[in-house]
Every structure is written in C-alpha cells, then in structure tokens.
Structure 1
Amino acid sequence: MLLHLIASADAPENAFGFVQAMEEGGPIAWSILAVLVIMSVGSFYILITKYFEQRKVFNQYKAVRTSFWRANSIKEGATKLEKDSAWRQLVDDAVAAEDQHGKMTDSMEAHDWLHGSLARSEASINSKLAGGLPFLASVGATAPFVGLLGTVIGIYRALIKIGIAGSASIDKVAGPVGEALIMTAIGLLVAVPAVLAYNWLQARNKRIAELMSGFSTDILANINSKGAVRPNTMAPASTQQSGKAARTAPATGSTTAKPVSATATTSTATKPTTPPKR
C-alpha cells in the first residue's frame, strides 16, 4: 500500500501502479509476493511472542532475588516460585537429582551428578527460548533472494517485450521493470526486520542463560553445603535498616561511655596514712 501511494503520488491517472505491476508479472509474481508476506507475518509473530516470553522470565527472576533465597530450604523456596517458570524447573530438577543420587549404589560424586542434571535442565530451557529464532535467521538470509527472483523474472519479461516490440519504449518496459523493482524492495523490507529481531532476541536469550547459570551455581553450592552457602540477597527494607543502623552506630557508642567520677579518681590516687611510731 505504501509503495502504491508513493508510485501514484505524482500521477492522478497511473496505469503502472503496484497492482498493475503485479498483474503484469502474473501468477509467478503473486506467488513470490505471497511467500514474502508469509515470511513477514511469521517474523513479526515470533518477535512479539518471544518478547513476551522473555519478559516473563525476567519478571520471574525478581522473585528469585527477593523471596527464594530468604526461605529456610531449597524446597521451601521452590513453593514461592511460579510452577511453570524456568527458575522453578531448575530448582525441581536439582531437588530430584539430589533424591536420585541417594538411591545410587555406585561411587559417583553428588557434585558431578547434580552439576550434570542442572546442565541438562539449562539446555532444555535455552532450547525452548531459542524456538523460532532459526526461522528469523532463515527469513533474514533468504528473503532478499526471494525478492531477487521476482526481479530477475521482471527483467526477463521486459527483455521479451523489447524483443517483440522491436523498441525499448517506456510503455513496453515500465510494467516488467516496475515489478522487478517492487520485488526487490519487498524482499529487503522483509529481511531487515527479521535480522534485527533475531539479533535482539538472541542477545536477550544470552542474558537469560547467564542468569540461569549463576542461579544453578548457587543452588549447587547450597545443596552441597547443606544450606550453609547462599547468595547475599537482602530485601530493600532490610537494606535501609542496616544502613540506618550503620549511620547511628558511632553516635550511640559515644553516648554509652560513662565518665569517671572525681571521687573515684581521688580515692584511688590517695595513699593510706601509716600510724606514727611510738
């Protein structure tokens, strides 16, 4: 529609608009256009759905920082997380791996078994988050060539008309050449957003992978230490209270010191008198 308006801006009666150019190309041009439209719709669908999926994971991580590590145990902290969240999956897999290691009869260390279980859990979550991104990469790589196919066909039709007419007049080649240029533009319009969306979503997935890796390390350390090791996460209220206490500590300490009385000083300073000898 935008290309049609641009093409018909300066000509009130334009016989070489977008629809006319597509009709000039025939079924092949319409088929290529349909493929590009499907690519574009699919790219924007993946971009929107993956954005909200990643946003949900980031928002759920706030519960991990504020409430999970303040629980008395890993199992108790898991109840404070959403059931279908990626963070809850890591905790549940860690707890299940700990229980499974107790049933083993070989000499495999608990650290290795837990580490492998958490690594498998992270891989499954990362694979789910990466779903749809190969489609964006494929669209970004192939859409310009699909548009180029329409360009080649349009130029080929223009050459055929020039050969049949015996002259390269503008009315003979405007339709096929216009179709060729339109196909190139549509291919670029489809490819550029797909490439940008792929790079942006991929960067966000890497950030989520980093957070999950750190969370898995903290879970592993907490389980191996029987709950003694945990990250130092404090709520905003407790942080403010600790800062207030730190600011008031010197003043309080200076007022609690008791002054030494003068009588005590003089009593310790004076020596007892000895009675005179007879």
Structure 2
Amino acid sequence: MHMAPISALQGDALMQAVAAALLAMSMASWFVIFWKTALLWRCARSVPRAIAAFWAAPSREQASAAARQADPEGPAAALAERCRQLEQPEGHAWQAQADRVRRELRDALDAGSRRLHAGHVLLASVGSTAPFVGLFGTVWGIYHALGTISALQQVGVDKIAGPVGDTLVMTAAGLAVAIPAVLAYNALGKRARALDAQLEGFALDLQHLLAGGGPGA
C-alpha cells in the first residue's frame, strides 16, 4: 500500500534530474555558441587586418606594433610580438636560433589555436549525449508510468496515453538541446579551421623572415 507513493516520488525526482541536466546542457551550449560566434567573427575581421598591417609597416620594428594596433590581444598580434622577441638571439649555446624560432612560433600558434577552438569539446559532448539523456528520461518515464497504470483497477486509453505522451517530451527535449549544439559545432569549427590556416601561413612567413635575416628597423 505504501510502495506506490514512494515509487512515484522517486520517478518524479529522477525525471526532474533529467530535465535539470538537459536545461544545464542547453544553457552551457548556448553560452558557448554566443561567445564563440562573437569571438570568431571578431577574429575573422582582425586577423587578416593585422597580417596586412604587419607586412605594410615601413620597418620590422614598427611591424609588431602595427599588428598589435590592428588586432589587439589577438592571435596574429601574439605571433607578431613573438617574432619581435625572437629577433634578439637568446638561450644556451646548444640551442640553435632556427630551432628556437620554430619552437617559439609553434607555441604561439598552438596557444592561438586553443583559443579559437575553446568550447568546441563541450558542444560536441552536448550534441552526442543530450539525445541519450532525453531517451533515458523517456524510458524511465514509460517504465514508471506503466508501473503506475498496472496498479489501477480500470485501465483506459486516456490513462495510458497521458503519462506515456508526457514522457516522450523528454526525447524531444534531448533532440532540441543536441541539434543546435551539433550545428554550431560544425559551423564554428569550420570558421576556426579557416583562421588556423591563416595563422599557420603567417607563422611560416615569419619563420622565413627570421631565418633570412634582412634589413632591420
């Protein structure tokens, strides 16, 4: 006699936990979507401008400052600043200058790439797991609803369709959370990879510039 209320309470609590998990996943993914859209849109405009400003500068000393002005605190400016620092040979004698240049530019490029791709793992995780979280809520809700219906003396279609239909909403909610995350992951990833290609080309040009020497400021 006392097991039915306890079972109903447990089912409600689990369904609420699933709904709360889907809500948290949705909020996190939309935060990343808005943040990364603004970041990549800004970088898509500033990175080419910074690269063009670097090569248009009248001297190598002014090139780094021109890049920073065009792309303040951006990945292209970070590469230009690292190039300026590498113009003065440093380090131990066993470290060749060419190796130091390649290592420092690679580190700066990796840091910029990590910034461009930040949050993509979360979008991929939400897109791949949210449907299963919603499906789990549906399966548990149907199981809980059938257990409650079996305890009734009279069973009608209205008593079955209502509880079962409510649990199917969890599957729809899981898809509603996953689809925007997957679409954003693909779109933002494509834009980030395009910026990666521009930065890799810029880093390669900087490496050739430092390896070839040339006139200074």
TM norm structure 2: 0.85
Partner of 1:74: 60
8 Å contact from structure 1 (residues 158, 172) kept in 2: no
Partner of 1:147: 134
- Structure 2 letter corresponding to 1:29: M
- 1:210 equivalent to 2:197? Answer yes
Partner of 2:28: 42
Instruction: Summarize the Cα distance change of 1:87–1:197 in structure 2 as closer, same or farther, 3 Å threshold.
Output: same
TM norm structure 1: 0.68
Pairwise CA distance, 1:75: 2.6
- Out of 10, 29, 32, the position equivalent to 2:18 is 32
Q: Secondary structure at the match of 1:81?
A: helix
Q: Secondary structure at the match of 1:53?
A: helix
- 1:159 equivalent to 2:146? Answer yes
Q: Secondary structure at the match of 1:211?
A: helix
- 1:52 equivalent to 2:41? Answer no
8 Å contact from structure 1 (residues 93, 121) kept in 2: yes
- Structure 2 letter corresponding to 1:45: F
Instruction: Summarize the Cα distance change of 1:169–1:74 in structure 2 as closer, same or farther, 3 Å threshold.
Output: farther
Pairwise CA distance, 1:104: 3.4
Larger Rg belongs to: 1
Q: Percent identity?
A: 33
Partner of 2:177: 190
Instruction: Summarize the Cα distance change of 1:163–1:71 in structure 2 as closer, same or farther, 3 Å threshold.
Output: same
Partner of 1:275: none
Pairwise CA distance, 1:84: 0.8
Q: Secondary structure at the match of 1:62?
A: helix
Partner of 2:105: 118
Greater relative CO (CA pairs within 8 A, separation 6+): 2
- Structure 1 letter corresponding to 2:22: L
Pairwise CA distance, 1:178: 1.6
Partner of 2:96: 109
The aligned length equals: 203
Partner of 2:47: 61
